């Protein structure tokens, strides 16, 4: 017979989504370096109609030999399918484990112990990096470096850990060289693809072009890693905070720019409008640096147009298509991609004489 607590919990869950705190235990063992910091990410999988929903539960750093009890909040546990734990470390091959048990207030789930294999062991073994398939392949290597940039480095910085991550640069460089060396000798792990590649030159060229693109992405990721590691921790944290506000035009205008920047844009638009018939016409572009953030902005005036409502009446008689530029090179003195971006924005003059930004499509 079910206990009263179980029955109460069941009815609460049936009544609607209820956050449930539960424990998941994750540990790293095997031959992993006891001082290595592994990034552990836990996710839960929930099936929905014609699709699957993945919920990111927790992300933290742990050391081998020190089992981590991770409290996770599960939402809609009735739809729970399975739990996934993923570990990452620069010197080890990415690994994930799945368990079908659902953590709950009544049950702690233990993920089978991870025993990661090092990239050094792969290289020393002579095992080839494959084109594709079930073994270690090109995209595994590419994604390893990308994950270092997107997840591991920010996690280390945000945790305040002062680890010399430059020590992994020689390994990354060797791994790239090893990939380029063994890739031509490997297969796609699929007999039909391998045979078609030998018989059809056009198909082979298509695969080769795709592979060259992935190799370039791998090299670009390594270049980005070197550039990021040349910065101080404080500079990297500052850069990431700014980049989070560079998602689209709306976030740049309302979150990244200050009131002073927006006022400058308003004055620029006023000047352009008031001198539209002047000869010679004023310069249709302007740039300035925000003194507090060192972000370099620019604006360029485009075509003029009118906006009509659904009833056909004019809403705004004077609108301009513009481009807003954001340049972060003065914020961080290094060679990084994505430090300079351009966003499209439309400005319309309302009846009160104020310039309103029109962000079409939420951009």
Closest CA to 223 of 279, 286, 284, 176: 176
Give the model confidence (pLDDT) of 199-210 as tens digits: 888 988 998 999
Q: Is residue 202 part of a domain?
A: yes
H helical segments located in the chain: 4-15, 119-125, 138-147, 153-158, 169-182, 191-199, 201-229, 233-243, 249-251, 259-274
Average pLDDT on 187-212 reads: 86
Q: Residue 192 phi/psi, 5° resolution?
A: -65, -40
**How much is the average pLDDT of 49-54?**
82
- pTM reported for the whole predicted model: 0.84
Residues 184 and 288 in one domain: no
Kindly list the distances between the CA atom of residue 154 and the CA atoms of 151, 165, 204, in Å, as whole numbers in the listed order: 6, 12, 39
Residue 177 has pLDDT above 90, yes or no: yes
> For residue 329, is it within any domain?
yes
Could you say which of 195, 230, 265 is where a domain stops? 230
Per-residue b/e over 137-158, b at no fewer than 16 CB within 10 Å? bbbebbbbbbbbeeebbbbbbe
- Top-confidence range, 10-19, 138-147, 203-212, 302-311: 138-147
241 assigned to some structural domain: no
Which is nearest to 28 in space by CA: 113, 102, 100?
113
CA distances from 209 to 105, 202, 206, 235, 259 (A): 52, 11, 5, 37, 47
Q: Same domain for 303 and 323? A: yes
CA distance linking residue 260 with residue 243, whole number of Å: 20
Answer yes or no: do 132 and 216 share one domain.
yes
- Scan for tokens 């099936």, then name that residue: 47
Question: Which helix (H) or strand (E) is 297 found in, with range?
Answer: strand 296-308
The pair of structure tokens assigned to 361 is 């499509």
> Could you tell me the residue range of the domain that residue 24 belongs to?
1-117
Q: Any idea what DSSP says for residue 130?
A: B
Residue 267 shares a structural domain with residue 357 = yes
Say whether both 138 and 103 belong to one domain: no
85 DSSP β-pair partners: 42, 97
Residue 1 included in any domain: yes
Please indicate, yes or no, if residue 325 is contained in any of the structural domains. Answer: yes
Instruction: Give long-range contacts, CB 8 A cutoff, 24+ apart: 52-61.
Output: 52/81, 57/24, 58/24, 59/151, 59/155, 61/37, 61/155, 61/156, 61/159, 61/161
Do 5 and 102 lie in one domain? The reply is yes
* Residues shown for the chain: 363
Rg, Å, the chain Cα set: 27
Task: Report how far apart, in Å, the C-alpha atoms of 341 and of each of 198, 255, 258, 335 are.
Answer: 43, 16, 18, 15
Tell me what pLDDT residue 312 has. Answer: 79
Phi, psi dihedral angles at 152 (to 5 degrees): -70, -50
The answer to whether 173 touches 219, Cβ cutoff 8 Å, is no
**pLDDT class for 363, splitting at 50, 70, 90?**
very low
Same domain? 2 vs 22: yes
Widest distance between CA atoms in the chain: 90
| Residue 283 is assigned to a structural domain of this protein | yes
Is 31 part of any domain?
yes
Quick: pLDDT tens for 92-125: 999 999 999 888 888 899 999 999 999 999 999 9
The mean pLDDT of the chain is 89
């Amino acid at each position: 017979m079910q206990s009263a607590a179980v029955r109460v919990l069941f009815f609460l869950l049936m009544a609607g989504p209820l956050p449930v705190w539960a424990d998941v235990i994750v540990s790293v063992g095997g031959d992993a370096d006891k001082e290595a910091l592994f990034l552990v990410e836990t996710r839960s999988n929930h099936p929905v109609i014609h699709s699957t929903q993945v919920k990111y539960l927790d992300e933290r750093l742990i050391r081998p030999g020190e089992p981590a009890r991770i409290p996770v909040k599960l939402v809609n546990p009735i739809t729970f399918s399975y739990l996934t734990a993923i570990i990452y470390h620069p010197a080890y091959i990415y690994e994930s484990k799945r368990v079908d048990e659902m953590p709950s207030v009544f049950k702690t789930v233990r993920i089978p112990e991870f025993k990661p294999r090092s990239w050094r062991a792969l290289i020393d073994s002579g095992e080839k990096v494959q084109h594709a398939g079930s073994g270690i392949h090109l995209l595994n290597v590419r994604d390893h470096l990308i994950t270092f940039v997107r997840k591991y480095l920010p996690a280390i910085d945000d945790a305040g850990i002062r680890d010399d991550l430059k020590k992994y640069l020689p390994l990354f460089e060797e791994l790239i060289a090893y990939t380029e060396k063994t890739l031509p000798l490997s297969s796609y792990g699929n007999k039909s693809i391998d045979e078609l590649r030998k018989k059809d030159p056009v198909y082979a060229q298509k695969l080769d072009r795709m592979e060259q693109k992935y190799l370039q992405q791998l090299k670009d990721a390594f270049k980005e890693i070197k550039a990021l590691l040349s910065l101080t921790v404080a500079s990297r944290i500052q850069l990431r905070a700014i980049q989070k506000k560079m998602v689209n035009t709306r976030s740049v205008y309302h979150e990244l720019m200050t009131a002073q920047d927006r006022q400058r844009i308003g004055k620029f638009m006023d000047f352009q409008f008031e001198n539209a018939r002047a000869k010679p016409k004023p310069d249709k572009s302007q740039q300035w640096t925000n003194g507090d953030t060192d972000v370099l902005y620019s604006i360029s005036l485009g075509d003029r147009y009118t906006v009509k409502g659904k009833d056909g009446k004019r809403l705004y008689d004077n609108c301009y298509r513009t481009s807003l530029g954001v340049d972060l090179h003065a914020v961080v003195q290094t060679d990084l991609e994505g430090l300079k971006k351009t966003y499209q924005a439309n400005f319309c003059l309302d009846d009160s004489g104020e310039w309103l930004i029109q962000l079409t499509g939420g951009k």
